[in-house]
Amino acid sequence: MIRYIGKRLIGLVPVFLGITLISFFVIHLAPGKPTDIQTSLNPKVSYEARMRLEKLYGLDKPIGVQYMGWLKRFATFNFGRSYIDDRPVSQKIAERIPVTILINALALILIFAIGIPLGVISAVRRGTLPDRLATVFVFTGFSTPEFWLALLLMSFFGISLGWLPISGIKSLDFEYFNLPVKMLDVARHLILPVAIAAFGSLAGISRYMRSSMIGIIHQDYIRTARAKGLKEPDVIYRHALKNAMLPVITIIGLSIPGLIGGSVIFESIFAIPGMGRLFYESVMARDYPTIMGVLSIGAILTLVGNLIADIAYSYADPRIRVIKEE
Amino acid sequence: MSGTLLIRNPGTAHRKVSRHREAFTIPLMISAVFLLYAAAATGDAGSPDAVTTDAPAYGDAIVIGSIADARTLVPILASDGPSSEVCGMVFNGLVKYDKRVRIVGDLAESWEILDGGLTIIFHLRKNVRWHDGAPFTARDVEFTYKKLMDPKVKTPYSGDFERVKALEVVDDHTVKVLYKEPFSPSLSSWGMPMMPEHLLKNEDLNTTSFGRKPVGTGPYKFKTWKTGEKIELTANDDYFEGRPYINRFIYRIIPDDATMFLELQTQGVDWTGLSPLQYTRQTDNEFFRSHYAKFKYPSFGYTYMAYNLSDQKFRDIRVRQAINYAVNKQEIVDTIFFGLGRVITGPYMMDSWAYNKGVRPAAFDPAKARELLAQAGWRDANGDGWAEKDGSPFEFTLIVNQGNAERLRTAEMVQSYLKAIGIRMKIRVLEWSALINEFVNKRRFEAVLMGWFLSRDPDNYDIWHSSKTREGEFNFIGYNNPEVDKLLEEGRRTFDQAKRETIYHKVHEIVYADQPTLFLYSAETLPIVSSRFKNIEVSPIGIGYNFIKWYVPKSEQRYR
Amino acid sequence: MVREFLNNKMAVAGFVFITIILAFAIFAPAIAPYNPSSIDAKNILAAPSGAHIFGTDTLGRDIFSRIVYGSRISLSIGFIAVGIAVVIGVFFGSIAGYYGGRADSIIMRFVDIMLCFPTFFLILAVIAILEPSIFNIMVVIGATGWMGVARLVRAEVLTLKERDYVTASRIMGASNIWIIVRHLIPNAIGPVMVSATLGIGGAILTESALSFLGIGVQPPTPSWGNILMDGKSTLGVAWWLTIFPGVFIFLTVLAYNLLSEGLRDLFEPRLRK
């Protein structure tokens, strides 16, 4: 097992380097320098002042040098300092990661909790009304522009009904609450964002589950189980489901970049201080260190997610485990 | 209060009702007396109870809705809106503007301007303390000046202070500033917030943690900053102008304008800016009328379409005049801004003394425009709808920055007006820094739609003087008029306001006649504030200038 | 096969709807009652009426006409972006699958790397850094969406290349490229089509997300995404600006998704009853 993990980790290194290279490359497509936002549109900022700022940021060194410098610092998670406010990028990212991870983790849980049963129902009752309904439901989620749905739901639940807070992750007087109230407060704020994030991605899991399940149901060992006289629910849930779920685990890894990427829109609409919003602001301000930092961390999170999924899969799939141990 | 009297007594009276009929009458009479008293008390002004419920009271908090987070709270580094707004509550400058746009003292009690402007002596207030208790002295002023001029500090504000020859600390409360030459905007430049020497003298301003935990002399003290979420300030009990009434100043970050509007509808935000559409149509209902107050005042800037004056097509003044007649600026204001703006004719704020009200905007006259174009050689010879000269049609591209919906719509309307006189204008939307760096600064544009944010002092030498045409400088259109040059030089050298007024009026006249850019409009700023805040007074400098005097009556307070 | 497809009512519905939208796009000048760019300053934000069945926008332009013309933009972004993705994906996938070995490792490594990035982040970064032109949007969506196709094609090619007719071709002296292009790719088309139709829906959604952030297709060119943006700032006052484009986006993407499911049912024999 350990050897397996170790081998996978080593295999990740070139992937990792590739990530840093691509992030760096993407940023330098840009014309323009980060000092533009700060100094333009304000006639009081003189030419001399601007030139001074440019030198200070080190933008006059050649690209190769800039990349190597960045790579070296990356090893120690030192992404440099943000051009916007000179704070260490790692600090800025560290502030935002918990919220993003929380929301994405909750969304993933919800996706699995709803997507898997829906997929099973669709598979077992294939072609009938429940299958159709489930299909339409998950596809609706998949086909709706997220921010549109968010705004409509916010108006409905937040204003017309007044049940849920509109935006943010905590109330203004949060500091004065005791613990249980604090938890309830955060929960209320997160219901809409998590629900909408999950709704958009249900289709992937449930359809995959459906086809995986359908494939399994038609296999021989299932027919054997039925022939042996096992009751139908037993057949489905004990035998088929366990096996059908295995491939679905691998999808976890694939869902993560989608969730993280989608968080840009989300976090703007719901005023959530997460990584997606940080990324968007850095892009608009040409804050290169932060852009590269967030892109890389996002990719790393995905790598980690994939790795965990792989390990879980190899652990759960007895065939692989047996082979490995030989 | 009086309400509770009303509720209690009829209740206790009724409990006794079922027993004895005679016993009924006495409690009834008592409650009647109380009822009458209660009715009188909750009546209008005259009675004592009503006055106390509405009197200035300490307490409550104000929640400001902002689209963007602040970046740093080191005041001389703060160049974006949110950072400056928060710094404005935490720090003071030596001077500030009052509601009549006159310079008055802030940390400076008084000042003297000597030697025709070569020397300014500031007499600072005594007994002002920093939020940590240390006294504010002239050394803080000297320190702030030194940091402004320090090449290692990433401040964009050094420009104004480059004219200072020397700054002397005469004593703890007196500062003497010597200038290389008389410079009339100098006084207003001392509105720059002052920083504490004792806390920052060994810090690198660019990276100091002070930027996340500032200490100032202002009406509010810093409490907490949750990145991307909110910044909270609490009232300074020892503020030299008196403690503000409102306990807390909470700056809440909501990046999306639609969400911001929804928050207004649930009263999650007390003060934010409205778009013209929101101001006129979306807040025109019972809910908003009863919970909010809307204000408007002219913004501190204007929007214009600049021509690249080295481009052949725009060299001929008749072409520029034609465009001036062809674009219906009033209609733009009415359509995009719902009338909440004004057509301008010159490079000054409309309500400033420098603006020449005698220069009237040209009438909307497409026929005259076509005539002028024809005189300049542009005619539609082949009837295809576009004017041509020497066989090629009149076409140009207008570049605009993305992210500004009203500006984009303005471009679209201009496009349609120009089409009516045969000019084909294409619109190209660019990201802001690409627009500035690759196109404007490098003079690779034909026309650009932009806006200027002006400072209160009307000196705009940097925009119109022919020497300011290096890459990155603001005369990127290449305007060169020697008479204007001389006037601008004189305008910034003299301190005599009457003389400056004449000078700038003349500049306004000449520039409008030259039409180096198409002056479009100056929009209104449209703040909306929860109606529980009293004492708000609109002025040419906005509504926030007397914020420390705003209060919420005890009965209406929402937050602790 | 066609009959099988016709049995899947939802997929058929999707197909029909897409045809209608395609008709909108192709025959736009005939269908749209107004010029989508004509500004009518006196008639801004008018509710749906006889004259303007979907109402007008903030500059008085007819929304129905803008939606009709917008279908051109949204659909072409979808087709071209996905087209680019398919071309790149087929290219890399077939080479990796056919030649195997070193080429396979390198290409698949590259695919892994690209798959690690939150795609939308990459798209955002590139579009914001270059300019938000239609061309850039198409290219970037395509350049970040080919990985799935590559994997699919590689898998198919791996299976197919051992088949008899391929061996026969090789014996007859056909060049590798010929085999790839003539035999392998056409047979791998099935799953690619499934992926492509899904991708078109995705590209349309991505465009609307980019417009949300202000870096999608810029006015005055109408796209469903940017009409929806106009709607966002008129919430509560002009429901027609939000509802109509949103519904069109939703129905079109749904149609493509249903179509893709229908195609998948067709091409994956295991799933046939």
Interface contact flag, B282 C236, Cβ < 8 Å: yes
Q: How confident is the model at residue B37 (pLDDT cuts 50, 70, 90)?
A: very low
Residue located via tokens 């960045």: A70
pLDDT of B30 > 60? The answer is no
Q: For residue range B240-290, list pLDDT tens digits in order.
A: 999 999 999 999 999 888 889 989 988 999 999 999 989 998 888 899 999
Residues facing residue B293 across a β-bridge = B529
Q: How confident is the model at residue B25 (pLDDT cuts 50, 70, 90)?
A: very low
At residue B167, what is the residue type? L
C250–chain A nearest CA distance, Å: 5
Those of residues 62-81 in A touching chain C at CB distance below 8 A are none
Of all residues in chain C, what percent carry a pLDDT higher than 70? 96
Q: For residue range B399-425, list pLDDT tens digits in order.
A: 998 778 899 999 999 999 999 999 999
For B262, the enclosing helix (H) or strand (E) is helix B257-265
B406-420, C176-190, C240-254: range with lowest mean pLDDT:
C176-190
pLDDT of B360 > 70? The answer is yes
- Going by the DSSP 8-state scheme, the letter that residue B542 receives in this structure is B
C245: Cβ contacts below 8 Å, ≥ 6 apart: C63, C67, C70, C224, C225, C227, C228, C231
**In the prediction, which pLDDT does B40 show?**
39
pLDDT of C161 > 60? The answer is yes
Those of residues 395-414 in B touching chain C at CB distance below 8 A are 402-403, 405, 408-409, 412-413
Q: Where are the strands (E) in B146-295, listed by range? A: 164-171, 174-179, 220-226, 230-235, 248-253, 271-273, 292-294
Interface contact flag, B427 C218, Cβ < 8 Å: yes
Question: Do B437 and A38 form a contact (C-beta atoms < 8 A)?
Answer: no
**In the prediction, which pLDDT does A53 show?**
57
Measured between beta carbons, which residues in chain C are less than 8 angstroms from residue A218? Answer: 270
Q: How confident is the model at residue C83 (pLDDT cuts 50, 70, 90)?
A: very high
**In the prediction, which pLDDT does B31 show?**
38
CA distance C29 to B375: 37
CA distance B360 to C169: 84
Q: Where are the strands (E) in B368-445, listed by range? A: 388-389, 392-393, 395-401, 424-430
DSSP of chain C, one letter per residue?
A: -HHHHHH-HHHHHHHHHHHHHHHHHHTHHHH-SS-TT---GGGTTPPS-SS-TT-B-TT--BHHHHHHHHHHHHHHHHHHHHHHHHHHHHHHHHHHHHH-HHHHHHHHHHHHHHHHS-HHHHHHHHHHHS---HHHHHHHHHHTS-HHHHHHHHHHHHHHTTSHHHHHHHHTT--HHHHIIIIIHHHHHHHHHHHHHHHHHHHHHHHHHHHHTT-SSPTTS--HHHHHHHHHTTTTT-HHHHHHHHHHHHHHHHHHHHHHHHHHHHH-GGG--
CA distance C184 to B555: 79
Would you give per-residue pLDDT tens digits along chain A (326 residues)? 677 777 777 777 777 778 777 777 776 665 555 555 444 444 445 556 566 555 555 555 666 777 777 677 777 777 777 877 888 888 999 999 899 889 988 998 898 888 888 888 888 777 778 888 888 888 888 888 888 888 888 888 877 777 888 888 888 878 778 888 888 888 889 998 999 888 888 887 888 888 777 777 777 666 776 777 766 666 666 666 777 777 777 777 677 777 888 888 888 888 899 998 899 888 887 787 888 888 888 888 877 777 777 777 776 665 555 444 44
Domain boundaries, chain C: 2-33+54-271
Q: Please tell me which residue, B4 or C152, carries the higher pLDDT value.
A: C152
- Going by the DSSP 8-state scheme, the letter that residue B111 receives in this structure is E
CA distance B296 to B447: 31
Q: For residue range B59-99, list pLDDT tens digits in order.
A: 899 999 998 899 899 999 888 889 999 999 999 999 999 99
What integer best gives the mean pLDDT of chain C? 85
CA distance A131 to A123: 7
Question: Do A215 and A221 form a contact (C-beta atoms < 8 A)?
Answer: no
| Tokens, residue C123 | 């798209």
Residue of B157, B205, B229 for testing the chain A interface, max A β-carbons within 10 Å: B229
Q: Which of B159, B229, B263 is nearest residue A49 as measured by Cβ atoms?
A: B159
Residues facing residue B234 across a β-bridge = B221, B248
Give me the phi and psi of B380, to 5 degrees please.
-90, 90
Q: For residue range C196-208, list pLDDT tens digits in order.
A: 998 999 999 999 8
Model ipTM? 0.82
pLDDT of B49 > 50? The answer is no
Q: Residue B510's closest CA among B489, B480, B490?
A: B480
CATH superfamily of domain region C2-33+54-271? MetI-like (1.10.3720.10)
Instruction: Tell how far CA B524 is from the center of its chain.
Output: 10
**In the prediction, which pLDDT does B358 show?**
93
The mean pLDDT value for B454-474 works out to 85
**In the prediction, which pLDDT does B414 show?**
96
**In the prediction, which pLDDT does B80 show?**
83
Q: Please tell me which residue, B90 or C272, carries the higher pLDDT value.
A: B90
Q: How far is CA B170 from each of CA B112, B116, B145, B149, rounded to the nearest angstrom?
A: 14, 20, 15, 20
Question: Do B66 and B514 form a contact (C-beta atoms < 8 A)?
Answer: no
**In the prediction, which pLDDT does A155 show?**
81
Residues facing residue B525 across a β-bridge = B297
Burial of B358 (0-12, 13-18, 19+ CB in 10 A): exposed
With an 8 Å Cβ cutoff, is C234 touching chain B? Answer: yes
For A119, the enclosing helix (H) or strand (E) is helix A89-124
Peptide bond into B135 cis (omega under 30): no
Interface contact flag, A140 C126, Cβ < 8 Å: no
pLDDT of B364 > 50? The answer is yes
The mean pLDDT value for B480-507 works out to 92
- Going by the DSSP 8-state scheme, the letter that residue B47 receives in this structure is S
Q: For residue range B187-235, list pLDDT tens digits in order.
A: 999 999 999 999 999 999 888 999 999 999 999 999 999 998 999 999 9
Q: Residue C75's closest CA among C220, C199, C209, C244?
A: C199
pTM over 0.90: no
Those of residues 153-212 in C touching chain A at CB distance below 8 A are 201, 205, 208-209, 212
B254–chain C nearest CA distance, Å: 14
CA-nearest residue of chain B to A275? B228
Q: For residue range B160-188, list pLDDT tens digits in order.
A: 888 899 999 999 999 999 999 888 888 99
B107–chain A nearest CA distance, Å: 23
Counts for chain A of helices (H) and strands (E), in that order: 14, 0
**In the prediction, which pLDDT does A76 show?**
75
Of all residues in chain B, what percent carry a pLDDT higher than 70? 90
Q: Residue A275's closest CA among B504, B512, B227?
A: B227
B275–chain C nearest CA distance, Å: 9
Measured between beta carbons, which residues in chain A are less than 8 angstroms from residue C112? Answer: 15
Those of residues 139-158 in A touching chain B at CB distance below 8 A are 151, 154-155, 158
